[in-house]
Amino acid sequence: MNYEEIAAKILKNIGGKENINTAWHCATRLRFKLLDENKAKTETIENIPGVITVVKSAGQYQIVIGNSVGKVFDSLADQAGLENKENQAASTNEKKDSLVNRFIAFISGTFTPFLGAMAGAGILKGLLALLVALGWLKTTSGTYEIWYAAGDALFNFLPIFLAFTAAKRLRVNQFVAVALAAALVYPTLVTVATKSQTLHFLGVPVVPTTYTSSVIPILLAVWVLSYLQPILDRIFPDAIRNIFTPLFSLIIMVPLTLIVVGPIGSGISNLLANAVSGVYNFAPIIAGIIMGAFWQVFVIFGVHWTFVPVMMNNIAKMGYDPLLPILAAAVLSQAGAALGVFLKTKDEKQKTLAGSGVVTGIFGITEPIIYGITLKMKRPFVCAVIAGGLGGAIIGAFKAKASSFTLPSLLALPTYLGKGFIGVIIGISVAFVLAAILTYFFGFEKSSSQATVSDQNLSQTGELVTAPVTGTIIPLTSVHDQVFASEAMGKGIAIVPTDGTLKSPVAGTVSAVYPTGHAIGLISDSGIEVLLHIGIDTVKLNGKYFKTLVKKEQHVTVNQELIKFDLEKIKQAGYDPTIMLVITNSKQYQITATQETVAKNNWLLQLDTKHDH
């Protein structure tokens, strides 16, 4: 491919450099904001050899190139004399941005399926705390104990829930992941951790860490499992795989997680707790800012645990702890951010979630808010951090004290009575109100609401259809075959392949094979009809360059090899190798397509069964 030629032709037909407002690129597409899209000659551009197709979406004029987009972009930037700094920044920002964004999106994505349950449990916990505070219920009563378990179980065993959803996303055996999580919160291990005894695994010390209610450790573990499982699957033959892969997954992963993740988490935790305590001693305001702003961040990473013994120790030795009241600011700042979202958002679901979040937040439970709204939308989280920091500073300045250990919330106010109480009142009010105001005015970005729409579509536990081949993803409507592009056969997606193995995108049965081997029909175990068609008009090749590896009625698993085809020879013979994946019974589903543009072992489509109204 002559990148200069391609770039030159694109530049010429896009209206010249004068028509370019901004230009950057992602993994597979050149992306432009043009001053006048009508000046761009789309048909001509699509016919440039090297250009796969043109897609217009999200206000951008996108030219799909494939893997070598970087080189085309560099040449284009050169020829157009685009300011290198700006565009380098644009593409690196996209990359840097993507890593942080992807991290956050991944974390919040693992929570979305059970957010409703979490919010509900949170409200129950809050109600119970309220009833106890009002004196209507005693903590020693059976009623309280049972309802407390009902509300707290989800939070206590949080890793199990996260393991389930993360495993689904990463295409790992969900039950192995859950077993792994359950092992982390296994009663005997929890007792050991709370007693701070050190276990030894084959001689290696295992630092006791509490994994209950934690987030990052289990996500890391499932992520590692997603690399381990395919390796184990390859080692064990089909017949024993079902048992041996889980067996070895558990044998390896549980100790690995306990040995590696535990110490790292505890180490960071210890450092933080000691550092902040030290800071408080000589500059309480600064400690107030740190704790008020970053407490919720510590909680996300699970490094907040060693603060607890420090606080309890303070209460034991001095009769009070100065750090707890500051946390109230952190908690209420999240509640305030939730209020801001509640008032501003027009999305029904978000409004309800935010509203319930305000309530649970006031009672001290912030997980539903953080994972359901503020972290996902990023800006509200930042607003909460700022407000929390300010509130914390005030509380620190007044040297407020907590006389006993309680979950920081509005209900814990009685424990802050005494010197500095005014500071607490002012501090948490500031935190709450400021967070709400900041979120209301600055918490929303046009693009973030676009992102949340697609995130919310992922909240149902729909069926995922994964990529059958590696390559560049393009919309089905862009393929150069009217029958497919018009979606007459159904909705779907297309991939311009970079390798010659077609793998099954679902688990199901082969419903149709063709002697010509260029297409295959599958019905997934859940009833999704998938038609895979390799290349355009390739039926004319009459089977040359295609080899079908499966038979009709055969049951296949996800990623099982279906057809091998000679990509190069097909292209040389002059055929467009684009692979079309069509859901022929798409009318029954609400289909969400991936935002990614590179296909490699990730999901392409999520199908949610439509419910009759």
Partner 1 sequence: MEKKNFHIIAETGIHARPATLLVQAASKYNSDITLTFNDKSVNLKSIMGVMSLGVGQNADVTITADGEDETDALAAISDAMKKEGLAE
Which active-site residues does the annotation give?
26
**Toward partner 1, which CB reaches closer, 81 or 515?**
515
Q: How far apart are CA 278 and CA 283, in angstroms?
A: 9
- The nearest distance, CB 550 to partner 1, in angstroms, is 14
- Edge-to-edge order in the sheet of strand 579-583: 555-556, 508-513, 519-524, 529-534, 579-583, 491-497, 471-475, 598-599
Distance CA 531, CA 514 (A): 12
Least distance in angstroms from the C-beta of 191 to partner 1 = 56
Determine if residue 267 is left, alpha or beta; phi over 0 gives left, psi from -120 to 50 gives alpha, anything else beta.
alpha
Count residues near partner 1 (CB under 8 A): 22
Stretch that binds partner 1, among 37-45, 234-242, 411-419, 482-490 (CB under 8 A): 482-490
Cα separation, 111 vs 98, whole angstroms: 19
Min dist. Cβ of residue 479 to partner 1 (A): 12
461 or 511: CB nearest partner 1: 511
Cα–Cα dist 423/434, whole Å: 16
Residue 584 CB, nearest distance to partner 1 (Å)? 4
Q: Which of the ranges 7-15, 267-275, 519-527, 592-600 carries the binding residues for partner 1, by CB under 8 A?
A: 519-527
User: How far apart (Å, rounded) are the C-alpha atoms in residues 189 and 212?
Assistant: 11
Residue choice 150, 256, 259, 489 for contact with partner 1 (CB under 8 A): 489
Q: How far is the CB of 511 from partner 1 (least distance, A)?
A: 5
Selected from 490, 500, 505, 535, the binder of partner 1 by CB under 8 A is 490
Under 8 Å between Cβ of 588 and 506? no
Quickly count: other Cβ atoms within 10 Å of residue 327's Cβ.
27
Distance in Å, CB of 516 to partner 1, minimum: 8
Contact region with partner 1 (CB under 8 A), list: 178-186, 330-338, 406-414, 480-488: 480-488
Q: Closer to partner 1 by CB, 456 or 585: give it.
A: 585
How large is the C-alpha radius of gyration of the chain? 28
Q: Which is nearer to partner 1, 93 or 542 (CB)?
A: 542
In the complex with partner 1, the residue whose CB is nearer, 352 or 588, is 588
CB 271, CB 307: distance < 8 Å: no
Among 7, 11, 222, 513, binds partner 1 (CB under 8 A): 513
Tell me if 477 contacts partner 1 by CB under 8 A.
Answer: no
Could you say which of 19, 461, 584, 590 contacts partner 1 (CB under 8 A)?
584
Query: Is 504 in contact with 522 (CB distance < 8 Å)?
Result: yes
Q: 133 and 185 in contact (C-beta within 8 Å)?
A: no
Q: How far is the CB of 538 from partner 1 (least distance, A)?
A: 10
The answer to the question of residue 514 lying near partner 1 (CB under 8 A) is yes
Nearer to partner 1, 74 or 529 (CB): 529
The residue among 79 and 511 lying less far from partner 1, judged by its C-beta, is 511
Nearer to partner 1, 153 or 483 (CB): 483
Using CA atoms, how far residue 61 sits from 24, 52, 137, in Å, is 11, 14, 62
Q: Does 509 bind partner 1 (CB under 8 A)?
A: no
Q: Of 153, 242, 512, 561, which lies in the binding site for partner 1, with binding defined by CB under 8 A?
A: 512
Q: Which is nearer to partner 1, 19 or 588 (CB)?
A: 588
Q: Which among 416, 408, 414 has a CA at the least distance from the CA of 388?
A: 408
CB of 489 to partner 1, least distance (A): 5
- The DSSP code for 539 is G
Joined together, the tokens standing for residue 13 give: 């037909």
Interacting residues of 611 by C-beta distance below 8 A, sequence separation 6+: none
Question: Which of these ranges, 66-74, 159-167, 392-400, 486-494, lies near partner 1 under the rule CB under 8 A?
Answer: 486-494
H-only helix segments in 490-575: 567-572
From 134, 202, 239, 488, residue interacting with partner 1 (rule: CB under 8 A): 488
For residue 134, state whether it binds partner 1 (rule: CB under 8 A).
Answer: no
Nearest distance from C-beta of residue 490 to partner 1, angstroms: 7
- Is 585 a residue that touches partner 1 (CB under 8 A)? yes
Stretch that binds partner 1, among 44-52, 277-285, 425-433, 487-495 (CB under 8 A): 487-495
User: 381 near 337, Cβ under 8 Å?
Assistant: yes
Residue (of 465, 460, 469, 503) closest to 582 by Cα position: 465
Which tokens sit at 239? 């017949």
Pairing of strands 555-556, 508-513: antiparallel
SS3 15: coil
Instruction: Map tokens 């505890």 to a residue.
Output: 266
User: Contacts with partner 1 in 550-579 (CB under 8 A)?
Assistant: 552
Q: Considering only residues 515, 574, 611, 613, which one is a binding residue for partner 1 as defined by CB under 8 A?
A: 515
From first CA to last CA, the distance across the chain in angstroms is: 53
Per-residue interface string for the shown chain with partner 1, residues 529-548, x marking contact by CB under 8 A: x-x-x-----xx--------
Q: Which stretch binds partner 1 (CB under 8 A): 177-185, 413-421, 464-472, 508-516?
A: 508-516
Cβ-based nearer residue to partner 1, 126 or 492: 492
Integer Cα distance of 236 and 246 in angstroms: 11
Segment contacting partner 1 by CB under 8 A, of 47-55, 90-98, 369-377, 526-534: 526-534
DSSP result, 332-364: HHHHHHHHHHHHH---HHHHHHHHHHHHHHHTT
CA–CA dist 342, 372 (Å, integer): 12
Contact between 521 and partner 1 (CB under 8 A)? yes
CB 340, CB 381: distance < 8 Å:
no
User: Which spans of this chain sit near partner 1 (rule: CB under 8 A)?
Assistant: 483-484, 488-490, 511-516, 519, 521, 523, 529, 531, 533, 539-540, 552, 584-585
